[in-house]
Structure 1
């Protein structure tokens, strides 16, 4: 895929170098205050300096809860589009596409042409952007089920497409994940067989090691970690535990029971 933007902005507020696009942008807003019986609106401006990289690197995505409905469906969608697959459904023949993706299927009004007509461009061409077909995917799950089995269990992907993806997705197996029954629904207990053991700090170190292993093995420039696992109950937010970064790290090392799995992943 060619992710390079072919749009150039001719403005004194934009500067291009070989590696970056530098832009100066004034964000305008209005502060509204109540003064006795009237509202006072006061416009204000915030100046922003934005730097955007021009070289699109190799991007990895790690999903927490990779073997769930969201993770398996996302993976199947990326692979179906990457391989330009087609399949039969009860409503007829279907070709893989990115309809519904805001970056891959939507357009943005750029401005007017010389005749006053609107000019629209694909959102993916506004700036240098990774194409979704090029994502490298990995992740964690408390179930050891491979992604082909997880896709079948989710019952989201059409059966004919499942058949075409099965061989590749059978090779995809989630890394062990963190399981804390105090934070998620009890109905997950039966599938919690693929776990990172140890204290919360030891689990944190393992997650960091997993991210590094994924990055190094695939020679990635960046890694994004997304939460697609079950929702958790709220933590009992406490002063001295969650209020500062230093306290949070200290509580993690002390194996504080109100440090949730999602917090451990975020810290890692």
Structure 2
């Protein structure tokens, strides 16, 4: 069966739901191995765990070191394109934003079988409450004060049409001043050093 977006409820005496938490009793099986001169003794044992998972997903922030670099500007552009469900033109035709390649948003997990014996797969993002990438709060530091729109242009990763659609929002984003340490700065970036704490 195909993955669907319904909420997953576990019906088990070992799982309990409240408004705020999911409580799961789990037995972890391990083997204690004791060595002597003449033999190896393996003794299985169990450790009982109670796992508590919050059901309400809080706000999650991502602070990037080198936010104004190629990786930081491209990551930010990708999150914003998906958040706003943008489409853009490329030399190969129209592209639609998607989370293909995201392990939580595009991957499925085999949950079990249905009454007919068919495999049932669910989206990984539905296994437990988790933040959606569209909701990430992004910020960061960089030794360059260049805004993220200009950094995106400099990186030459994002298609031109998408750059134009993201420019207004990303031009308001500027990295916080960073600590300058020459040991961690590439030689070709020394000229951009004008946004440091000291």
**TM-score band, normalised by the shorter chain?**
0.7 to 0.9
- 1:103-156: per-residue Cα shift (whole Å, max 9, x none)? 111111111111111111111111112211122211111111100111111111
Aligned-residue CA RMSD (Å): 2.3
Q: TM-score, normalised by structure 2?
A: 0.87
For structure 1, the 5+ residue unaligned runs are 198-268
More helix by share: 1
Task: Tell me which residue corresponds to 1:77.
Answer: 78
Give aligned pairs, total. 194
**Cα distance change of structure 1 residues 84 and 183 upon mapping to structure 2, 3 Å threshold:** closer
* Structure 2 SS opposite 1:153: helix
**Cα distance change of structure 1 residues 177 and 13 upon mapping to structure 2, 3 Å threshold:** same
Task: Tell me which residue corresponds to 1:118.
Answer: 119
2: CA distance, partners of 1:155 / 1:147: 13
**Cα distance change of structure 1 residues 5 and 17 upon mapping to structure 2, 3 Å threshold:** farther
More strand by share: 2
For structure 2, the 5+ residue unaligned runs are none
* Structure 2 SS opposite 1:119: strand
* Structure 2 SS opposite 1:148: helix
2: CA distance, partners of 1:63 / 1:140: 6
Shift of residue 33, structure 1, vs aligned partner: 7.1
**Cα distance change of structure 1 residues 117 and 156 upon mapping to structure 2, 3 Å threshold:** same
2: CA distance, partners of 1:78 / 1:7: 26
Is contact 1:5–1:127 with CA below 8 Å preserved after alignment? no
* Structure 1 SS opposite 2:183: coil
Shift of residue 43, structure 1, vs aligned partner: 4.1
**Cα distance change of structure 1 residues 196 and 31 upon mapping to structure 2, 3 Å threshold:** farther
